[in-house]
Each structure stands twice: as structure tokens, then as C-alpha cells.
Structure 1
Amino acid sequence: MMKKGRSWIPLAVVALLWVGPYAWMVSTSLRTLPEIVAAPAWPIPNSIQFEAYREVLTTIPVGRYFLNTTVMAVAIALLQILLALPAGYALAKLHFVGKKAAFALVLACLLIPAQVTFVPVFSMLGPLGLVNTFAALILPFGVSALGTFLVRQALLSVPDEMIEAARLDGASELRIVYGLLAPMLRPTLASLFLFSFVFHYNDYFWPLVMTTDDDVRTLPLAVALLREQGTGVRWHIVMAGNVILSLPVLALFAAVQKQILRAVTARAG
């Protein structure tokens, strides 16, 4: 019994390291600025204050920025899944010349950050009149090397006989990919959706480069504008904005965590 109790100590320490910064962020958002300046590391507010949240909601149009961010992140995630399924299927189940080279190219793309390619992409989208549009935020990320890799690895465990049986029944390749295999890969696709959504929902760099109009700007950019240069950073307001920014991501994770656990369990098995 003693050993079992001690085994939870490392888990508790790791959990504290993960939850601690978020708890400190929430606590800071509920304090006043003089209180933060006097004791910035003190985790417990003397009195709970919601003025920071009121100022965030009145300073920036949170609803519009949140809608822009959600539309962008969801569209990217769905487009990545839509294209990763046939790409992963081709690399896992089809036989063609250059298959190994194509897979190596996919792996190489995992090593290239988006910041490296923003200049040529911007130069390409600018003459087309796509800057300051949702197309500029979505299309450059429509193809995901990580998504292709995850789908390909998941499909390696699917028996070839199942695909052959579907072909004998007259199913087309698209029907096999989207009608037969996609439901079988639901945990993997849910993990891909969550990873993509969280990454692009929190992305600051690409929307900053590709947008100058408030109509298409995203919530991370708006939260960054909460900083007041010259009079000092209003940390309670910045933290309140970050709490509002993170709530949809936490809700999404709570909704799909079972699918993620299934994917991890299946991969571990």
C-alpha cells in the first residue's frame, strides 16, 4: 500500500508542473495591478476581482475575433484531415514508383517550420489579392505532413484483405478512403484535429504577417494588443485575455480526450 501511495508522487509533481502556470495565470487575472506589482509571485489574490475581464470584453470585440480564430482553425483542421486521408492511404497501401522518396519528402517537411516559408508564400498570395483574407490564413496549411504521417502509420495496421474485399464489392478508391477507412481511424483523426486546431488557434506569427485588417484578425493578435506600451504592462488584463483565449481549447480537449486516449492505447498496444 505504501509503494502504491509513493508511485503517485511523481505523477502529482508532473501534474503540478503542467497545471501550475495555468493556475497562476487565472489567479493573476483575478488580482488588481497594484497587488500584482507588490507581490507578483504570490499565487492567492487578496480579493477576487473581475474588472480585468470586464475591460477585456469592452476593449476588444472578443466575439468577432473569436469567430475569426475558430473559423480559421476549424477550416485548417478539416482540410488537413480531408487531404491527409488519401495521401496517407497512398503511402501505406498503394504501390507506385517513388513511394519511398515521397515518404522521405513527407518526413523532411516535418523539419521545416512555417516561418521559413512565409516570404515566398506572402509573395505568391500578394499578387493574387489574397492578403487580408481567410484564404491566406487557411490555404497555406491545408496540407499537413504530420497528418499524412499519422494517417499512414495508422493504416499500416489495417489488413490489405479488407481493402481488397471492398474493391471486389465495387467500391471506388475514394469510397474506400472516406467511407471505409476514415471511420476506422476516428481516434487518429480526432488527435490530428485537436493538434491542428490548438496549434493554429494559438498561432500568432502567421495571422500577424498575413492580415492588417481587423475584420480577419484573430484572437491571439487581439490579446497581444492588450499590452500598454509606455505605462507598463497591465498583467491582470493580459492574463484575463489569455484565460479567455484558452477556454475554447480546454473545452475541445475535454470533448475529444476519449478519442485521444483510444489512439494512444491502440498505438501502445
Structure 2
Amino acid sequence: MLRLEGIDVHYGATQVLWSVDMHVAQGEIVAIMGPNGSGKSTVLKAAMGLKAPSGGRVRLDGREMQSAPATERPRHGMAIVLERRRLFPRMSVHENIVLGAYARPARETRGSLDWVLGLLPDLRDHLDATAGKLSGGQQQMVAIARGLMARPRVLLMDEPFLGLSPAMVRTVSAIMRTINDEGVAILFNEQNAKLSFALSHRGYLLESGRVILSGSGQEMLDHPEVKRVYLGVREEAVR
């Protein structure tokens, strides 16, 4: 469904992604895991058109996306939930959510909103609230709802668990599974290896802008290097 082929990205003279190959098949949850500065967010920005690659190709359902600006990609079936939510804090929850439907025909907004609130029913009681007055977890649900209003086939999620309590992490994880059960593929990034790969069908490990490992979620969790470096399992235990 979504395929990144040989993606290079530069910020000025500094290269931050090197020949990154990734794909998301229909119905998958795919995790990008790696330390800070590894390029995880840049992968999502390149996929969405928020950062133009300096090399490589982005395809959606086989269609070249390079010439499509970020504002047009929701029309083709992509949406993104940005890091730190990026809501309009003085606008209402309802106003923030329906902004996500700008790429859809106006006649579909009501039906899309009903679908989104069916997935995120806790938001029904907060539609008239000012978005900036919500808790961090509630704001994250508003950001997810806004992304879903585009009725995407692929939802990109940049650090969806950042700054959330453990209880809210579990809630957002459950929401992601529910979204996926509705047929929406998800590509997300995260620094917590156990959380990432337990939630995902497949995963990629990114270091210094390069994919160094990929496999099913369970294969990633079982890999000796992931266990040693990211799960804190001692070498003799890995053996």
C-alpha cells in the first residue's frame, strides 16, 4: 500500500536518512523504532510530503507521490497525526476534529464525524470544550480523531505515546488496534522497543538514518541485538 524506496533526506548540507526502504501492507500496523536522532520522524515527514526527499521514491498503491504536496496526500488516502498533537488550543474540540475533513467532500463530514466518534466515544462529551484545556491524553485523542476525519487508508503517527501516562499509553494502544480493525493501516514511530513491537505486525529498527533491522513484531522482540541494546537483557541471558 505505502512504499518508501531508497529515501534520502537532507537538512541543508546534513544528510539524515540514507537509502531507507520501508513498506506498509494493507491492514498492517508497522513500527519504526530507534533512539533519539535516528530519523524516525523524518521518515514520516518524507512519506507525507512534509519534507521533500533528496533521493528515492514514495508510492501509494503503486502511484508516485513525489509531485503531490502534503495538502493533497489526504485525498489519496494518507493522513498524519503529528508529534505533540499540534492542535489549535483556542478552538473547540469539534472545530479541531472537523478540520481533518478538509480534503473530503463537505457532504461526507457528518458521516465521517459519526464514524470517528464511534471509534473514540470519550470525545463526545468534550466537543464544545476548548482544546487547549484538555489533558495531554485527551488532546492526543483529538489529534487522532482529526487525522481519521480524512478517512485514510494509511495513518502515520509521529510519537503517539509521547508525554502520556502509562494508563493513557494503554488507551492509545487500544485505540490504534481498533482503528486497524477498521481497515486502516498504521505506520508509527516510538523509542520503546517492547511497546512498539508488541503492538505491531512488523517493525523496522532505525539507527543514524539507516534501517539496520526489520522483521515481524515478534522477530524484532526476539532478536538478540534488540534484547541487548533496547530491552536491557544481559548478553548471557540473550545467549
Normalising by structure 1, we get a TM-score of 0.22
Going by fraction, where is strand more abundant, 1 or 2?
A: 2
Q: Which has the higher contact order (CA 8 A, sep 6+)?
A: 1
Please, what TM-score do these two structures have when normalized by structure 2? Answer: 0.24
Higher helix share: 1
